[in-house]
Amino acid sequence: MHIEELIIEGFKSYATRTVITGWDSEFNAITGLNGSGKSNILDAICFVLGISTLSHVRANNLQDLVYKRGQAGITKASVTIVFNNGDRERSPPGYENHKQISVTRQVVVNGRNKYIVNGHNKNQQDVANLFQSVQLNVNNPHFLIMQGRITKVLNMKPPEILAMIEEAAGTRMFEDRKEKAFKTMAKKDAKLDEINTLLESEIGPKLETLRTAKRTYLEYQKMAAELDHLRRLNIAHDFMKYETKLQTSAQDLQEKEGRIDTLKQMQGVLKMDMEEIDRTLAQLALEREKDSSQFKHLEDAFKEYAKDLVKIKTQCDLKASSIAEEEKNKSALLAEKVDTEKSLGEARRKYEKLTADFESTVRAHDAKTEAVRKLEDLVQTLSTGMAAKEGHENGYQTQLQDASKAITTAASEAEQAKMKLSHLKKELQEQLPKARAAESQNATLVAELKANKKITEMLKSELESLAYNPDREMELLRQKQVNQSLVNDLKEQVDRLERELAAFHFEYSDPAPDFDRAAVMGLVAQLVDITKENADSATALEICAGGKLYNVVVQTEIVGTQLLQNGKLRRRVTIIPLNKISASRISPERLAAAKKLAPGKVDLALNLIGFQKEVEVAMNYVFGSALICKGKPVEIWMSKSADSDTAKKVTFEKTVRMRSITLDGDAYDPSGQLSGGSKPNSSGVLLKLGSLKTLRTKLNDLALPALSEVQRELEECHRTVNHYKGLQQKLDLKLHEGGLLEERLNTNASAKAIQHVQSLRTRIQEQELLRADAIERKKKAEETRAHVTSEMREFSAHREDKLKALQNDLALGKKELSKSAPTIKKVQQEIDLSREETASLEKEIQEADVQINNLNSAIDEYKAEESAMKDAMAKVKQDYDDAETALENERSALSTYDTQTKDLNAQKKDKKQMLEDCKLEVQKLMHELEKFNDERRNATRFVAEMNEAHPWIQDQKQLFGKTGTDYEFSKYDFGDVRKRVKQLEERHKSLERSLDPHVMDKFDRVEKKETQLKQMLATVKRDKKKIQETIAELDKYKREALRTTWEKVNVDFGNIFADLLPGNSAKLSPPENQDISQGLEVRVALGGVWKNSLTELSGGQRSLIALSLILSLLQYKPAPMYILDEVDSALDLSHTQNIGTLIRTRFGTAQFIVVSLKDGMFNNANTLFRTKFRDGVSNVERTSQRDKGSSANSSGASSAAKILPSATKKAIRGPAARGLRS
């Protein structure tokens, strides 16, 4: 970063705006006559860099920097430097993206400094940080070498030279601070001793004394806080008690006044209602007398019609019963017939099977018998030569003849059967087309018959599945009558109680279209349940609640407001909103104390009632602050005063002090008031309301559901009966249709053709069987003939053996015959039984057909008679209905008279009783009002006195009695609280006499001081240790850095001196017998001889030594810019030339700005600025010496320095220069 442009305006000798441009980035020289303003340019640069020591710029104050101290009309000095910031690596932090950095500093006479960086205002510290970040700290300027610096260096002692090396190495600041740190630690050590002495001798003992006093004071404060809390708690409790009483009294007063107004209005209304009832009763009596004679006439006529209707209806019902009975019998007969027919079919099949089996068995038996007979005859003939029986000549010859005859007979029968088969088959072929046509014609009848049988079976199955009980309907009718009677009785009782409790009937209209009636819970009395065990407490509970029984409970105050404003209420009511009402319930301790005084004889009124959870707050409000007192059963029987004694005991006991009520309704108040003596006229309303609830429950939950269930079952029974009858009728119809279809199938011509074909097929089968049998017999006969022939041959050959074998066969055959005879007899018996069974079933079917026909005739006759009876009954029923209508109208009129008269008398009685009750209640309420007013005045006075005496009550009142606050009364026994207050007051007074009220402040101050001292002590010790450790470590780093710097500077020092004074050398070395940490001195070698002292050198040589040392230090830690002010003043021209050359060659990375009067110096510069002082104003002209350039003049009247060819070197002044700004 180097200077590109310098703009000076009003600064020292530069009165007008002077712009100096064209600064070389390496070597710039400024020259001019003394007093021409060349050093002022350096001062301007230092001014912008933020110099704070004005003596360095030859000024005493900022006003000295303004041209002629502001006396010439110029009151502001402004200097701007434009830096080239192209090298981003050496750019100040935060300015890497700026190619140029413009820094302006302005000072106004008697005004303030102002810094501007790139057009933005900055404070001095920001600017200092900017330049310090690039090694341009103007207040510690190693880059600035002013006049006299050379002489100062020449006179330095070894430690001072060492200090310059340390400054270059950056360790000088460390040494300064280390020295300060050691001085500070010495002071701190003394302070530590002082603190330790102070802690041990003064603060410790004093703190222990104060700590003891503090404990006493804290005990006193704690006691005072507890005492204040208990006092406040006691005061709050008393205040809350009286205010609650005041509020309750006010509320009761309002209720009683409202109740009195309501009762007075009710009295007027009741009187008017009674007068109206009397007038209505008189009018009804006259009207009823007129209608009585007409009713008698209509009643007689109605009775006659009723008798006739009952008579004909009975006959019609009997006829219908007869029809139903006959239909039932017919259905039963049809079902029996179907079963019998089924059994008959099975019996016939069984008979046919038995017959077939018997015939087969008989044929086999006969064959065996014949074979045995023949075998016997053969044996007889062969044995004796004579036949066994006459006509049974069965020798072999006879057998041959018989076999031949059998063959001939079988062949003849087979031929006959063949001829018959041919004839039958021919006839069958002729009849088949007719049969097919007949089958086509009868297909519909067959399908109908099949469908009829299927439906018949389904109807029978459905009838069997029905749970039909003919007696169930009568049983349900009887149950319905009983349940209906029960419902009527319950409704009558409910209506009677509702009339008696009309005062508790709360009626209102919906105040809004979307109003939720569930938000209105009802009257308090309606929400209370009293069990049988607590029924004897009903009167006491009524006295306890008083007029609150008539209060209406709602969910929110919004619902209450809606009812009062838009509910169209018929009487005044008091609303209890559940979300707003605050109930004070007796504390468990007081209730326990009351029960302890009278075990088993006292209980909270709230515990004797039942209610829903959602109305608990309202019940607490009504019943939560009174006790019900009663004696034990034996005591009650012996003396009615038992519960009175209990009430007195618990009411006036100090630990209880609650309102108590006896079972007879006597009320005891802790204030001393006693009320009672007789039961109120409204006594028993809670029990009546309970009875009403019970009756409604029985009616709605038991009787009506039971009646509905019976009616449902009766309707179901009716549906079942109707369904059964409908199914039975359908079954009868289908059975009848099936009989007709079978009859049609059996009687039409098509059926005969089909039957004839079936007969032909049967005959063909018979003939085929006969032919097959004949062929089989023929075959057997042929086999027999062959066998006989063989036997004859064998007998002739072996007579004796054959005869013996025949005899054995004969014995075996007889034995088999004897075994088969019983079997044949048994089968014959089964056939006989089957024949008899079949005949019996056929007879039963015939008899069933006869009975069915008879029943059909009877049913048709009964139906005709029933139809005639129904017509007659319809006429009689019409007459009966007309008479009944007329009678009912007349009865209704008379009943209306009687009902209205009864109701009006009951209403008159109720209203009269209500009027008397109202009068008595008004008197009672007036007496109570006087009492309430006295109590209210006393409570008001007490509350006002407490509010005045204790202002904090108003702020804390909302917390009284609340759970979780300091005023949660239920946690305290106020008897114990008062005792504790007394103890605390005594102890409080005792401590107060010896207490130092300022001990806490003293203790805190001393303790705080001790803590601070100990913290300071610890901090100082910790910091001292850390500083010592850091110094030891930094000493090591310092020595290494110092040696490194010394070695580097020493080399540069020798080289630079050799350049300035060729052939000679110089170095920095420690004094004899010392190291570099103790100091450094300059040693010079001239002509190869080391000089012992600088005094041996000439003045110029000594200046070169000093300048070489300074330049070597600058080269060790290069800055972007160096300023040298006439450092060559003591040198001759040759040495000056060497310095210029040195700067130009060795310091190419930094920008040098050198003020010099010697051309040997500035001729080496790349750019030369010459200053001139004309007309009291400094001017500057520029000459480029290394590149092609020009010279320029900057005038006080001009706004910039201009660049012209160096050959001209002509100053340009005035306005003509303004157009040449570069």
Tokens of 1127: 């450092």
What percent of the chain is predicted at pLDDT more than 90? Answer: 5
pLDDT at 104 (0 to 100): 95
CB 648 within 8 A of CB 601: no
Higher pLDDT, 738 or 177: 738
Highest mean pLDDT: which range of 119-133, 195-209, 582-596: 119-133
pLDDT at 992 (0 to 100): 63
Task: Output phi, psi for 644, to 5 deg.
Answer: -65, -45
Highest mean pLDDT: which range of 328-337, 760-769, 816-825: 760-769
Count of CA atoms in the C-beta half-sphere (13 A) of 650:
31
Res. 124 pLDDT band, cuts 50 70 90: confident
Which of 669, 692, 708 is the last residue in one of the domains? 708
256, 121, 156, 22: which is closest to 1180 by C-alpha?
A: 22
The letter for the amino acid at 1055 is: N
Mean pLDDT of 619-644: 68
Mean pLDDT of 1114-1127: 78
Between 268-282, 633-647, 900-914, 1104-1118, the lowest mean confidence (pLDDT) is in: 633-647
Over the stretch 363-396, which tens digit does the pLDDT of each residue have? 777 777 777 777 777 777 766 654 444 443 445 6
pLDDT at 77 (0 to 100): 92
What's the start-to-end Cα distance of the chain, in Å? Answer: 20
Over the stretch 847-873, which tens digit does the pLDDT of each residue have? 888 888 888 888 888 888 878 888 888
- Let me know if 1016 is exposed, middle or buried by CB neighbors in 10 A (0-12, 13-18, 19+): middle
Res. 842 pLDDT band, cuts 50 70 90: confident
CA angle 480/486/488 to nearest 5° reads: 100
Let me know if residue 92 belongs to a domain.
Answer: yes
Which of 656, 676, 708 is the last residue in one of the domains? 708
Between 55-69, 160-174, 353-367, 743-757, the lowest mean confidence (pLDDT) is in: 743-757
Over the stretch 73-100, which tens digit does the pLDDT of each residue have? 888 999 999 999 988 888 888 888 889 9
Let me know if residue 685 belongs to a domain.
Answer: yes
DSSP string, 606-670: GGG-B--GGGHHHHHHHHTTEEEE---HHHHHH-TTHHHHHHHHHHS-TTT--EEEETT--EE-T
Name the E strands within 1019-1166: 1065-1069, 1081-1086, 1089-1091, 1121-1125, 1151-1155
Count of beta carbons in the 10 Å neighbourhood of residue 1165? 26
Over the stretch 22-45, which tens digit does the pLDDT of each residue have? 999 888 999 998 888 888 998 999
- pTM (two decimals): 0.35
- 798 pLDDT more than 70: no
pLDDT at 997 (0 to 100): 62
Let me know if residue 1068 belongs to a domain.
Answer: no
CB 356 within 8 A of CB 832: no
- The strand pair at 1121-1125 and 1151-1155 is best described as parallel
Let me know if residue 663 belongs to a domain.
Answer: yes
Let me know if residue 518 belongs to a domain.
Answer: yes
Let me know if residue 329 belongs to a domain.
Answer: no
Tokens of 682: 């409204």
pLDDT at 387 (0 to 100): 45
Tokens of 769: 């069987």
Mean pLDDT of 1074-1090: 84
Let me know if residue 593 belongs to a domain.
Answer: yes
Let me know if residue 696 belongs to a domain.
Answer: yes
- Distance separating alpha carbons of residues 1199 and 244, to the nearest angstrom: 96
Torsional sign, CA 492, 497, 498, 500? positive
Return the H-helix or E-strand segment holding 1179. strand 1177-1184
Over the stretch 917-970, which tens digit does the pLDDT of each residue have? 888 878 887 877 777 777 777 777 777 777 777 777 777 766 777 777 767 666
Which of 657, 689, 708 is the last residue in one of the domains? 708
- Give me the chain's average pLDDT, please: 78
CATH code at position 621: 3.30.70.1620
Higher pLDDT, 404 or 82: 82
Return the H-helix or E-strand segment holding 726. helix 704-747
524 lies in which domain range?
A: 489-497+514-708
Res. 8 pLDDT band, cuts 50 70 90: very high
- 310 pLDDT more than 80: no
Res. 330 pLDDT band, cuts 50 70 90: confident
- Distance separating alpha carbons of residues 722 and 174, to the nearest angstrom: 125
Between 552-556, 738-742, 841-845, the lowest mean confidence (pLDDT) is in: 738-742
Res. 1205 pLDDT band, cuts 50 70 90: very low
Over the stretch 585-617, which tens digit does the pLDDT of each residue have? 778 888 888 888 888 888 888 888 888 888 888
Return the H-helix or E-strand segment holding 193. helix 172-198
CATH code at position 17: 3.40.50.300
pLDDT at 5 (0 to 100): 94
pLDDT at 693 (0 to 100): 83
What percent of the chain is predicted at pLDDT more than 70? Answer: 85
The letter for the amino acid at 16 is: T
Number of domains the chain contains: 2
- 343 pLDDT more than 90: no
